[in-house]
Amino acid sequence: MSKINAAITAVGSFVPEDVLTNKMLEEMVDTNDEWITTRTGIKERRILKDPLKGTSFLGIKAAQNLIEKSGINPEEIDLVLFATATPDMPVASTAAYTASQIGAVNAFSYDLQAACSSFLYGMSTASAYIEAGRYKKILLIGADKMSSIINYTDRATCIIFGDGAGAALFEPNHEGLGHQDEILRTDGIGRNFLKIEAGGSLLPASEETVKNDQHYVYQDGKTVFKFAVSNMADVSEKIMLRNNLSGDDVDFLVAHQANKRIIDATSKRMKLDNEKVLMNIQRYGNTTSATLPLLLSDYEKQLKKGDNLVFAAFGGGFTWGSIYLKWAYNS
What are the residue numbers of the active site? 116, 256, 286
Least Å from the CB of residue 38 to ligand UT7: 9
At residue 33, what is the residue type?
A: D
Count Cα atoms within 13 angstroms, Cβ side, for 292. Answer: 33
Least Å from the CB of residue 194 to ligand UT7: 6
Residue 238 makes CB contacts below 8 A (sequence gap 6+) with 183, 322
| Closer by beta carbon to ligand UT7, 216 or else 225 | 225
At residue 41, what is the residue type?
A: G
Taking CB under 6 A as the binding criterion, the range among 97-105, 143-151, 153-161, 298-306 that sits at the site for ligand UT7 is 153-161
CA dihedral 268, 271, 273, 279 (to 10 degrees): -50
Least Å from the CB of residue 28 to ligand UT7: 10
Of the candidates 222, 244, 274, 275, which one interacts with ligand UT7 according to CB under 6 A? Answer: 222
Q: What share of the chain is helix, strand, coil (3-state, %, to 5)?
A: 40, 25, 35
Three-class secondary structure of residue 145 per DSSP: strand
Contact predicate 194/258, CB 8 Å:
no
Residue length, the chain? 331
Distance CA 280, CA 260 (A): 10
Q: Please report whether residue 152 would count as binding ligand UT7 according to CB under 6 A.
A: no
Count Cα atoms within 13 angstroms, Cβ side, for 41. Answer: 16
Subset of 55-84 contacting ligand UT7 (CB under 6 A): none
Taking CB under 6 A as the binding criterion, the range among 130-138, 182-190, 200-208, 217-225 that sits at the site for ligand UT7 is 217-225
Least Å from the CB of residue 4 to ligand UT7: 32
Least Å from the CB of residue 43 to ligand UT7: 14
Of the candidates 5, 127, 286, 289, which one interacts with ligand UT7 according to CB under 6 A? Answer: 286
Nearest to 66 by CA among 17, 119, 11, 117: 11
> What DSSP element (H or E) covers 181?
strand 178-186
Q: Please report whether residue 116 would count as binding ligand UT7 according to CB under 6 A.
A: yes
Beta bridge partner(s), residue 290: none
Contact predicate 178/328, CB 8 Å:
yes
| Closer by beta carbon to ligand UT7, 115 or else 168 | 115
Of the candidates 315, 325, 327, 328, which one interacts with ligand UT7 according to CB under 6 A? Answer: 315
Of the candidates 159, 217, 272, 281, which one interacts with ligand UT7 according to CB under 6 A? Answer: 159
Binding mask 22-61 for ligand UT7 (x = CB under 6 A): ---------x---x---xx---------------------
Footprint of ligand UT7 (CB under 6 A): 31, 35, 39-40, 116, 155-156, 159, 221-222, 224-225, 228, 258-259, 262, 286, 314-315
